[in-house]
A and B are shown apart, each in its own frame.
Chain A
Amino acid sequence: MIIEMSKLRILGPRERLEDVLRVLQDLSLLHLSAPEAVPLAHPELSPVQERERRHLRDALDNVEQALSALAVGENGSAAPGTVTPADQVRWARLAWRTRRETDRLTAQAAALEEERALIMKYQHFFSAFRSLLESESRWPNAQAYHVLLRGREAGTLPRLRASLAAVIGEEFQLFSQALPSGELAVLIVVSAQVAGRVERLLAEARVQEIPVPEAYGGKSLSVAIPRMLERLGKIPREMEDIRRRGQELARAHGADLRRARAALHDRLQALAALPLSGVTTRAFVLEGWVPARARHDLERGLRTAFGEDVVVSEVAKEEWESEQAPVVLANPRLLRPFETLVSLMPLPRYGSIDPTPFVAVFFPAFFGLMVGDVGYGLLLAALGLVLHARAKPGTTLRNISEIIGPCALFTIIAGFLFGELFGDLGQRWLGLRPLLFDRAEALVPFLLLAVAIGAVHVVLGLVLGVVSARRHPRQALGRGVSAAMVVLVIVGLLAAVGVLPRGFFSPVVIALLVGFPVLIVLEGLVAPIEFLATLGNILSYARIMALGVASVMMAVVANKMVGAIGSVTVGILFALLFHLVNFAIAAFTPTIHALRLHYVEFFGKFFSPGGVRYQPFRHWTRAAADRRAAPLTPGNPRQAA
């Protein structure tokens, strides 16, 4: 349900505005909204406050960057009770110093990583040229060239040798070794006198010489490789040293930085709240929303802090539109996990209907009817228990695990109704008999059951539409007529096929003929089309039967594999695999379709999206910031209050 809100007006002397805001922030109850009365001005920040805000933002940026670089967790991030300007200055300095230090460490780590990556590029050459380098060392006054021949150029090695012989005679040595990449590492050692001619030859032949990094000793790999290997050995120690210094920083300043972040956010929020007040030369006015049940807590808190200086009064309901009020969903513990499914849609407007209780009943029922198997239900329950054990309270995963529970229960119940345990295995092995009907055989009864459930669900949606439009009589009457006509069509059909007495048929047709013009008058020319769409919506519930039959057929096919394949063991393995696939499909497809039946067919009849989330003016916390960053998730009243 959507809990009742009160709109409050707080009046007081202007010089106490900031103090009142501080107390309101401590109370964490009031969702501020700017007062709209004409003589009031909305105070702008003074130049000093503007400068303070700029500094706070810079400091906060430094804090966030430093915390991110230090990978500091979220524990204990509450702001300290009293924050003085001296605290702010100290935190700003600390944040600046820590950020500078973390930036330096990050840059050092990046440089080391880059260096390691560069050296690793040469790793194949290390082994390939190690033996060649020993050959090079035997030629003290020689010039060495390290070249790389690609695989397809490997045939050029003899030609290279011939060309060298043609240019410089026999004054060279040529060594080669294949690399794992398929390339050929070649070392050419020549006397220093003929080096120029060899370089020209290599350039003309477009033979690629391996570039030697300058940082490791200039031109020769024979000098560079030992140095590179030495550096490669040192880099992990240096990285570890950087990591250790980061940990020391986190230990020394992490807690302070977390407190600083919360306090800086708090102060920024307080500054942002100032323009939401209205002021005259001597007084201020604050307006906002509070859950009706928490109104007295807020009044008591302000009275304790300010006595008679500050007055709180409730704004009469006639003075505000329900669309302006923020929304808090509050449901019993058992239903609350289903708020996750409702939160996938925009928040409902204040004064409209929270569909969570209906989703909590119908979603597991639809899911159960589609899967309808005792075995799959038990597997699902086990999956839900595992998820429940692993998920932390309050997380989406925990909510999903708590939704799985009722879904598994309805699946098991439907499994008994249809006599299914891993398809027809229950019938064959345990003598399980359907209490209702066998889905694999009774297609038409299952179809009728699905459509009947659809009719109930859609008519319920129309009735809720009438209730939610109660403040707009014409709209409510139109929806009521539409709902009545849907019921008449169903009654007429049942009378036509003989389920109900045939005497009902003629009056129903007459009532429908009368209802159509009334509907057009109330809802316009589009009403008949919408009426037909509503009938289409009911037929859409046939998907419950379609997916149910598909599920049981898959399970039956899986069981038949044991006999169909020659080897029993292979057959059992195939059957298990097929059941696993069917279970995976059964876990996802019915979820999507049950959601779709709610979002399109059911919600479309009454749901009014566009509600404003209740966001009380409060102290900053990581969790609250995350909730604000997720625009489709409604606030949790318990967390809010």
Chain B
Amino acid sequence: MSPFLITLAAALAVGIPALATAWAQSRIGPAIAASMAEKPELSTTAILLVAIPETMVILGFVVAVVILVRGG
């Protein structure tokens, strides 16, 4: 496969989940900030909720690495 396609595939593999993560965090962030204003004890939940969508981009990154390594 051409290097261009391999690079494009890797970029898409990490880029699309990055957008998804950003979108999810943009929704979670304000909601949890509003909740914490009333209940500061929700800080642990806040950490978890904001960190959970990052799994998408991290797994996307792993897939991108696999594509690049396998594609040579």
Contacts and interface: CB of A to CB of B under 8 A. Distances in A.
Interface of A: 344-345, 443-444, 447, 539-540, 542-543, 545-547, 592-593, 595-596, 599-600, 631-632
B65 interface: yes
B35 interface: no
Interface string B30-46: 00000000000101100
Given A444-B69, A593-B51, A546 B44 contact: no
Given A443-B65, A444-B69, A539-B59, A596 B47 contact: yes
Nearest to A537: B55
A542 B56 CA distance: 11
Given A443-B69, A447-B62, A592-B47, A543 B41 contact: no
Contacts of A592: 47, 50-51
Nearest to B44: A344
Given A444-B65, A599-B44, 17 more contacts: A345-B44, A443-B65, A444-B69, A447-B62, A539-B59, A539-B62, A540-B58, A542-B58, A542-B62, A543-B54, A543-B55, A592-B47, A592-B51, A596-B48, A596-B51, A599-B48, A632-B41
Nearest to A545: B62
A546 B51 contact: no
Nearest to B70: A444
- For B41, B52, B61, which residue has the most chain A Cβ atoms within 10 angstroms? B61
Given A592-B47, A632-B41, A447 B65 contact: yes
Interface of B: 41, 43-44, 47-48, 50-52, 54-55, 58-59, 61-62, 65-66, 69
B52 A600 contact: yes
B35 to A, nearest CB: 15
A545 B43 CA distance: 26
Contacts of B52: 596, 600
B44 to A, nearest CB: 4
Contacts, number: 47
B58 A546 contact: yes
17 contacts: A344-B43, A344-B44, A345-B44, A443-B65, A444-B65, A444-B66, A447-B65, A540-B59, A543-B55, A543-B58, A546-B58, A547-B58, A595-B47, A596-B51, A596-B52, A632-B41, A632-B44
Contacts of A540: 55, 58-59
A443 B66 CA distance: 9
Nearest to B55: A540
A345 B41 CA distance: 10
A595 B50 CA distance: 12
A546 B51 CA distance: 14
A595 B52 CA distance: 11
Contact of A600 (B48, B58, B61, B69): B48
A345 B54 CA distance: 21
- For A542, A600, A631, which residue has the most chain B Cβ atoms within 10 angstroms? A542
A444 B72 CA distance: 13
Contacts of A447: 62, 65
A444 B62 CA distance: 9
Contacts of A443: 65, 69
Contacts of B59: 539-540, 542
Nearest to B68: A443
B11 to A, nearest CB: 16
Nearest to B41: A632
A389 to B, nearest CB: 27
B6 to A, nearest CB: 15
Nearest to A633: B41
A31 B16 CA distance: 55
A443 B62 CA distance: 9
Nearest to A591: B47
Nearest to A344: B44
B47 A546 contact: no
Contacts of B65: 443-444, 447
A631 B62 contact: no
A631 B51 CA distance: 24
Nearest to B51: A596
Contacts of A593: 51, 54
B54 to A, nearest CB: 7
A540 B56 CA distance: 9
Nearest to A540: B55
Contacts of A345: 44
A463 B44 CA distance: 25
Given A539-B59, A545-B62, A546-B61, A631 B41 contact: yes
Contacts of A543: 54-55, 58
List of 3 A-B pairs having minimum Cβ-Cβ separation, nearest first = A596-B51, A344-B44, A543-B58
A370 B50 CA distance: 19
A631 B62 CA distance: 39
Contacts of A631: 41
Contacts of A545: 62
Nearest to B42: A632
A117 to B, nearest CB: 30
A285 B66 CA distance: 69
A593 B55 CA distance: 10
A627 to B, nearest CB: 14
A439 to B, nearest CB: 12
A345 to B, nearest CB: 6
A543 B69 CA distance: 18
Contacts of A542: 58-59, 61-62
A426 B8 CA distance: 34
Contacts of B41: 631-632
A538 B31 CA distance: 29
A214 to B, nearest CB: 43
Nearest to A595: B47
A399 to B, nearest CB: 16
A595 B46 CA distance: 12
Contacts of B47: 344, 592, 595-596, 599
A71 B65 CA distance: 60
Nearest to A343: B44
Contacts of B61: 542, 546
B59 to A, nearest CB: 7
Contact of A546 (B48, B62, B69): B62
A596 to B, nearest CB: 4
A545 B63 CA distance: 12
A631 B55 CA distance: 30
